[in-house]
């Protein structure tokens, strides 16, 4: 049977060479090609607090929010490698640039530990490790944007993630990196090394419900050559029933970050050293292809005098025609205390498609 298929393929290949080459995804020459996928995020938005200047990366109207190209493959029996190149608009121009969002190798052959080296999303809580197309909402939580920037904490370094010998999933990750993050670190010397520890625990309450608790801490020199740090905590409950789970699920996530940034101040010299905030969101799958979601955010616990409190509420409805496509409508209302009575409203529509051999998202 197998031979017949092979012979037929060969025969077709001989007969209609060009067509057969395009048609056979598993020809020998391609067998070792990495899994290649691309993800496109398109956006239309209109917000009272968003710029109409199209050289601003986050602007009103239509935009190509991001295109991500991903290559993933085993290198050899010992490790695998992944490259995720992000194409997005550069701030201050309407031109696009390519950034190595993640380029790393990780071990597959070491017992109990995964060692990773390269440039990758640091294990600061849950949200920071998500790619843009996997964000639960169109934008990242405010506290993430304000503490570590819209790109998140994504540095060059090394990482070791140890699976603890417990009956539940318990993982301790230790990372060392070059503190280059513009918003939080930007240390004066490339020789400086930053550190991060992440302790992640997941417990299946039963077959339907899983809980996750994570604690993180990171510290490194900032642009003033002082040690800046962020402490994080995240708590998630995921309910997807073993019976009927194709149609319904509920996810409740909360993430808190508390940043300490010595010598950081606003234009008037008011201290911005302490900045903490929380985001909590619910995602409910009400049918096979429909999700409704809500998010509440509070920035300013704790806060220094130069930091203004900010509250934001978001609502989102998503339609996912298949696991490879989605269209989402989001409304945000935010109220910064720095401008009393001047609330911001934003409405945004985003499409999200994936083509090619895309790896599964983490749980």
Total of residues contacting other proteins (CB under 8 A): 46
Contacts with other proteins in 151-170 (CB under 8 A)?
163, 166-169
Closest approach of Cβ 204 to other proteins, in Å?
A: 5
Nearest to 293, CA basis, from 253, 349, 236, 235: 253
Position 27 contacts other proteins (CB under 8 A)? no
Q: Quick check: 10 binds other proteins (CB under 8 A)? A: no
Q: Dihedral through CA 54, CA 57, CA 58, CA 59, nearest 10? A: 0
The CA distances from residue 166 to 92, 126, 169, 170, 335, in Å, are: 50, 21, 7, 7, 44
Nearer to other proteins, 87 or 203 (CB): 203
> Does residue number 207 form part of the binding site for other proteins (CB under 8 A)?
yes
Among 242, 268, 340, 341, binds other proteins (CB under 8 A): 242
Nearer to other proteins, 7 or 113 (CB): 113
How far from chain centre, in Å, is Cα 154?
10
Closer of 299 and 318 to other proteins (Cβ): 318
Determine which residue in the list 30, 46, 246, 333 makes contact with other proteins, applying CB under 8 A: 246
Q: Cβ of residue 305: shortest distance to other proteins, in angstroms? A: 42
Q: How many CB atoms lie within 10 A of CB 78?
A: 11
Tell me the window of 96-104, 143-151, 196-204, 290-298 that interacts with other proteins (CB under 8 A).
196-204
How far, rounded to the nearest angstrom, does the alpha carbon of residue 30 sit from its chain's CA centroid? 30
Structure tokens at 112: 């109990």
Q: How far is the CB of 9 from other proteins (least distance, A)?
A: 9
In the complex with other proteins, which residue's Cβ is closer, 241 or 262?
A: 241
- Which residue carries 């234009």 as its tokens? 267
286 binds other proteins (CB under 8 A): no
Judged by CB under 8 A, the chain residues 70 through 129 that form the site for other proteins are 74, 77, 80, 108-114
Tokens representing residue 188 in the block: 């004066």
Please pick, from the candidates 323, 333, 337, 342, the single residue that binds other proteins as defined by CB under 8 A: 323
C-alpha to C-alpha distance for 252 and 212, rounded to whole angstroms: 10
Torsion of CA 68, 322, 241, 358, to 10 degrees: -30
Q: How many alpha carbons lie under 13 Å from residue 14 in its C-beta half-sphere?
A: 5
CA dihedral 187, 190, 191, 193 (to 10 degrees): 50
Q: Rounded to the nearest whole angstrom, what is the least distance from the CB of residue 347 to other proteins in the complex? A: 28
Element (H, E) at 18: helix 17-23
- Residues in contact with other proteins by CB under 8 A are 1, 5, 8, 22-26, 74, 77, 80, 108-114, 163, 166-169, 171, 202-204, 207, 210, 240, 242-247, 288-289, 322-324, 355, 359-360, 362-363
């Amino acid at each position: 049977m197998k031979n017949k298929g092979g012979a037929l393929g060969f025969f077709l290949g001989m007969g209609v060479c060009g067509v057969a080459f395009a048609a056979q995804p598993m020809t020998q020459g391609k067998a070792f090609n990495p899994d290649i996928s691309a993800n496109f995020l398109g956006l239309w938005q209109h917000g009272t607090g968003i710029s109409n200047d199209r050289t601003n990366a986050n602007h009103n109207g239509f935009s190509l929010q991001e295109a991500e190209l991903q290559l993933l493959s085993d290198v050899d029996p010992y490790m695998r490698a992944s490259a995720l190149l992000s194409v997005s608009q550069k701030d201050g121009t309407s031109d696009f640039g390519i950034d190595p969002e993640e380029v790393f190798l990780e071990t597959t052959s070491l017992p109990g530990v995964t060692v990773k080296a390269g440039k990758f999303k640091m294990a600061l809580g849950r949200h920071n490790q998500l790619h843009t197309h996997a964000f639960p909402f169109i934008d990242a939580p405010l506290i993430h944007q304000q503490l570590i920037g819209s790109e998140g904490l994504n540095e060059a370094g090394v990482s070791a993630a140890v699976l603890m010998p417990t009956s539940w999933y318990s993982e301790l990750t230790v990372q060392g990196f070059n503190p280059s993050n513009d918003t939080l670190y930007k240390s004066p010397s490339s020789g400086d090394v930053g550190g991060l520890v992440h302790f992640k625990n997941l417990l299946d309450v039963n077959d339907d419900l899983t809980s996750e608790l994570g604690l993180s801490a990171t510290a490194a020199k900032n642009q003033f050559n002082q040690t800046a740090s962020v402490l994080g905590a995240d708590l998630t409950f995921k309910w997807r029933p073993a019976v009927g789970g194709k149609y319904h699920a509920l996810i409740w996530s909360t993430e808190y970050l508390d940043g300490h940034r010595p010598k950081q101040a606003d234009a008037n010299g008011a201290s911005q050293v302490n900045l903490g905030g929380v985001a909590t969101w619910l995602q409910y799958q009400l049918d096979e292809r429909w999700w409704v979601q809500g998010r509440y955010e509070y920035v300013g616990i704790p806060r220094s005098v130069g930091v203004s409190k900010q509250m934001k509420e978001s609502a989102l409805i998503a339609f996912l025609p298949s696991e490879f496509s989605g269209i989402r409508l989001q409304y945000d209302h935010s109220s910064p205390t720095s401008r009393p009575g001047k609330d911001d409203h934003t409405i945004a529509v985003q499409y999200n498609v994936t083509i090619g051999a895309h790896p599964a998202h983490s749980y």
